Chains A and B, each alone.
Chain A
Amino acid sequence: MPMSMRSSWLPALLVGGALLVSLTACSDSSDVGLGVGSGLQGGNPSTLDVTPDVRDTTVAPITGIRRDSAQGRPPAQSQNQNAWRFLVGSVDDPTPGTGVVTANGYLDFAGRDNLPEDLQNASPDALTAELRLTTDYLHGHSSGTMDVEVYDLTSEADMDSARATASFDAAPSPVSVNGAQINPSDSLVTIQLKASWITGNIGTLLRTGSDFEEAFSGFKIVAPNSEAVVGFSSSTAALRLRTVSSSNDTTTADYPSLKTFTHIERTGAGDPPPGYRLMQGGVGKGLAMEWAFRDSPLDTLESAPLNQANIFVPNDTSALETPSGFERPQPQGYRIIATRSSGAPSCPVVGSVTLSDANEACVLPLVPSAAPASALVPDDVARPTFRQSFQRVRDDQSPVFTTFRVHIADRENTAVNEAATVRPGLPTTLPVLVPVDGTEPGPPRATLTVTPL
């Protein structure tokens, strides 16, 4: 064979061999052969609901905020400052078990950088002062007006991140004009302050910046005998100082809000309707859920591959009685805080967010759009939680989380991202009834889709 032929078959040979070897297995796999011999069985997924042990829990929510951005400073905390609110009023919700909830608002203002000359030069008698509040929440009877009273705080109040059970001392006499009223259905309400308050505080009012903030402690706002709780926007609340010149020119200066807080208390609480547990915003009443991993059916799933998992806490909105003229918005979110077992993986390992290392507390992100109908822990959090728990229980350890605490955490709306659901909710007084049995919407549960081994 000539050399040229030899050199021509070699490449062909190598290419041919490589082609044969490189032909990877491919198939149009079908169901043919499934029944051969003992048959190819298993692998059929199934979905099951696992209900936890549920009990009541009460944790007073954070209702205070310091609006650091009021003076252009960076936010000190990641709360939803623009949507934050403070509440004033009292509501006797017809939902059994809710009792009478009373909310007192606290409000402090930031100093201005400067004051218009007309205001600086005006005599106190020529000045008027009013609180200008934007309403963004109403729970209760919407008809009629509400009496409101404003009191001076006697000392600087640490409202920042204060919980709803806290309160701050106020002067015994109101500084708002006698008979001050607001209409809860108005989008903007004003509360006139007494002329004597202006006279007594003119020195403070003429100060600017931090000098004002050090001298002014803030207000407490109450609504005695009201039939509704009204929420006011923290970001737009303002103290307005006004003067009218001899030529009828009006000069105003607004002191922006610096801090707000809501004290909430409940009286006369009873039992919720049969078949339900009550969650109630503001008073911090929620549910504590515990899954028994060593009991059926979870004990049979220790090694089962988990395809999907969700934690679901339904809100049976149909169970809430709503009389005519009674306003009760639905909460726009929930918050679930889970307590880690000793030695369990850190919060991020199972897709949650560390709330407190000392308290072994993790916040579970939720599906925002599931509210208000339910608090729904998505698969990317619930599945690693349950999978890790199964593994730990298999190794004779505790599950990742011992307790899941669910509370109402109202949001501005449900169009927020998942990460925002770990933040504290807005102050609210809303109730939610959670079924403890039944089929639709059913009790709180974990829904697991598993493929049995």
Chain B
Amino acid sequence: MPGFSRLLFLGTCAAVILLAAPSPAQAQSNGEGTIYSRFGMGSLLEFSSSQSDAMGGGGYALRSLNYNPDANPALWSDQVFTRLSGSAAYRSTSVEDGQGNSGRLSSGNVQALQFNFPLYERSLGVGISFQPYSRSNYSATRTGQESIGPRQDAEARYETTFSGSGGLHRLRGGLGYRVNDMLSVGATADLLFGTLERRRRTTWAAPQLRNTIVSDGVQLSGLTSTLGGHLALADVFAEDDAFSIGASVTLPANLSGEQYRTLDEDLARDTLSTERGDVTLPWKGRLGLSYQPNARWTVVLDGAFEPWSTFSSDFSTGASETVPSRFPAGGPGTLADRWRLSTGAEVVPAGDDQLAGYFAQAAYRFGGYAERMYVRPDQETTLYEFALTAGISLPTSLSGTRIDLNTTAGTRGTTTNSLVRDRFFGVSLHVNFGERWFQRRKLR
């Protein structure tokens, strides 16, 4: 029933887009909830595809007809279906410090929207994606008391809440081209834009005292590009196996923008000062290996590197009260080179058997990663993040369409040196619609 199928597909696509439309305001209001997102550009968000997300987050060499990994545009060359993917995630983070104090922050957010289609089947593909690049979301509160009134004979309790919101978004568009059976290449143009905002809200228990909100924000935008390559080899270690090597490089990005400090919020915002400036984000290199010994198993091993020590910013350092506080928080000295190692595996019990049971045709994935974080708040202690990932991919009656459910659990940071340790747990739902579009039907 192709008419119904098309209708179902379009309707569901529209619904998912409406639900998941990652308007900057919505996306900025949610996040992972770690105090470390106060530093640098916020928490860097890695999402390539729901398949790689469950396999440690790499998958730079992972070819699949059902997914179009975003991290390596060379993989966009191998497309058959026009594909629309949407992802939403929920994450809960609990944090503790060296004194045993703890807090929790949870949030839901859109992970990515991706649209891919082949110009020439399995030869030249186009990819467009919109997803968060980084996100700032933290909250910490201090309480105190202050004597108020002309006689200062009344004590008023107040809370000072420090919070971060916003982040950068990345709009990516590019092409992947399959040069021959072994080699594919790709390139993208990436627009980074967004607003990072740090807020300090002083609220009083006594209603007659006016609350105060001071916001330091920075709006940035700029272009960069990602180049990728993919080498596919067959019969390498065994007959009918597939071995792939993928690599991509994102060029340094020069972002221009405006830093501001405001008082109050919404319509009552009073802009105390603004300042224009530039920041330069470092390049990023990715290298991945993928091995498929048979139709059931796929194993990946990936690494990424970003020299954040080369980050530069010419925004001022908050010399006076009205000048925005330093960006990034703590200065470039709080940034360190980042690397990330991940590995994962996927198993499809049914292999190529189209007649196997439903759950035998599902894909089961697991993986993990270790990351040296790019922020070093005290400029001394190197921080790491470790996590395990898992997921299940459910086939649907629509060929090329899968529903994925992923989960992740991990830890980051340390409780030494006045730092904190986060323990996070997340689940995410991914919808990958794929259908043949723009292709002439054969006459029967």
- Spell out A's residues near B (CB within 8 Å): 1, 3, 5-6, 9-10, 13-14, 16-38, 40, 42-47, 49, 303-308, 310, 312, 314, 374, 376, 379, 383, 391, 441-442, 445, 447, 449, 451-453
Contacts and interface: CB of A to CB of B under 8 A. Distances in A.
B162 interface: yes
Interface stretch (B27-35, B71-79, B220-228, B305-313): B27-35
Given A14-B15, A383-B210, A21 B146 contact: no
B141 A20 contact: no
Interface stretch (B42-50, B61-69, B90-98, B434-442): B90-98
B20 A33 contact: no
B140 A33 contact: yes
B327 interface: no
Given A5-B397, A33-B138, A36-B36, A26 B19 contact: no
Most A CB within 10 A of own CB, among B35, B358, B419: B35
Interface string B377-407: 1110000000000000000111000010000
B428 interface: yes
B88 A10 contact: no
Contact of A47 (B15, B148, B398): B148
Nearest to B30: A25
B89 interface: yes
B284 interface: no
B342 interface: no
A9 B429 CA distance: 13
Given A6-B8, A22-B108, A33-B97, A13 B152 contact: no
Contacts of A305: 202, 212-214, 263-264
Interface in B180-230: 200-202, 204, 208-214
Given A32-B140, A33-B97, A449 B209 contact: yes
A21 to B, nearest CB: 5
Nearest first, the 9 closest Cβ-Cβ pairs linking A and B are A37-B377, A23-B108, A33-B35, A312-B150, A30-B103, A43-B160, A305-B212, A27-B105, A1-B397
Given A10-B12, A43-B160, A36 B106 contact: no
Nearest to B161: A29
B168 interface: no
Given A25-B137, A40-B162, A307-B204, A35 B15 contact: no
A155 B220 CA distance: 81
Contacts of A30: 101-103, 140-141
Interface string B214-250: 1000000000000000000000000000000000000
Contact of B150 (A10, A37, A374): A374
26 contacts: A1-B358, A1-B397, A16-B429, A20-B429, A24-B29, A25-B30, A27-B33, A27-B103, A29-B141, A30-B103, A30-B140, A32-B35, A33-B95, A34-B140, A35-B418, A36-B35, A36-B377, A37-B38, A37-B378, A42-B214, A45-B202, A303-B263, A303-B321, A307-B209, A308-B208, A447-B152
Contacts of A19: 108
Interface residues of B, number: 89
Given A17-B16, A25-B106, A308 B141 contact: no
B108 A1 contact: no
A153 to B, nearest CB: 46
B116 interface: no
Given A307-B211, A447-B149, 10 more contacts: A17-B88, A18-B19, A36-B35, A36-B378, A38-B377, A44-B146, A45-B146, A305-B213, A307-B212, A376-B150
Contacts of B214: 42-43, 305, 451, 453
Interface residue SS majority, chain B: strand
Given A30-B141, A307-B202, A17 B39 contact: no
Contacts of A24: 29-30, 107-108
Given A21-B88, A36-B36, A13 B109 contact: no
B104 interface: yes
A46 B202 CA distance: 12
A18 B150 CA distance: 52
A40 B140 CA distance: 9
Contacts of B38: 36-37, 40
Nearest to B398: A6
Contacts of B90: 20, 23
B419 A36 contact: yes
Most A CB within 10 A of own CB, among B8, B33, B141: B141
A25 B30 CA distance: 5
Contacts of B208: 308, 379
Contacts of A447: 148-150, 152
A453 B271 CA distance: 13
Contacts of B31: 25
Nearest to B214: A453
B212 A451 contact: yes
Contact of B104 (A1, A10, A28, A36): A28
B219 to A, nearest CB: 20
Contact of B272 (A31, A33, A37, A303): A303
Contact of A6 (B103, B140, B162, B396): B396
Contact of B142 (A31, A37, A391): A31
A29 B103 contact: yes
Nearest to A306: B210
A26 B8 contact: no
Most B CB within 10 A of own CB, among A14, A21, A38, A45: A21
Contacts of A314: 150
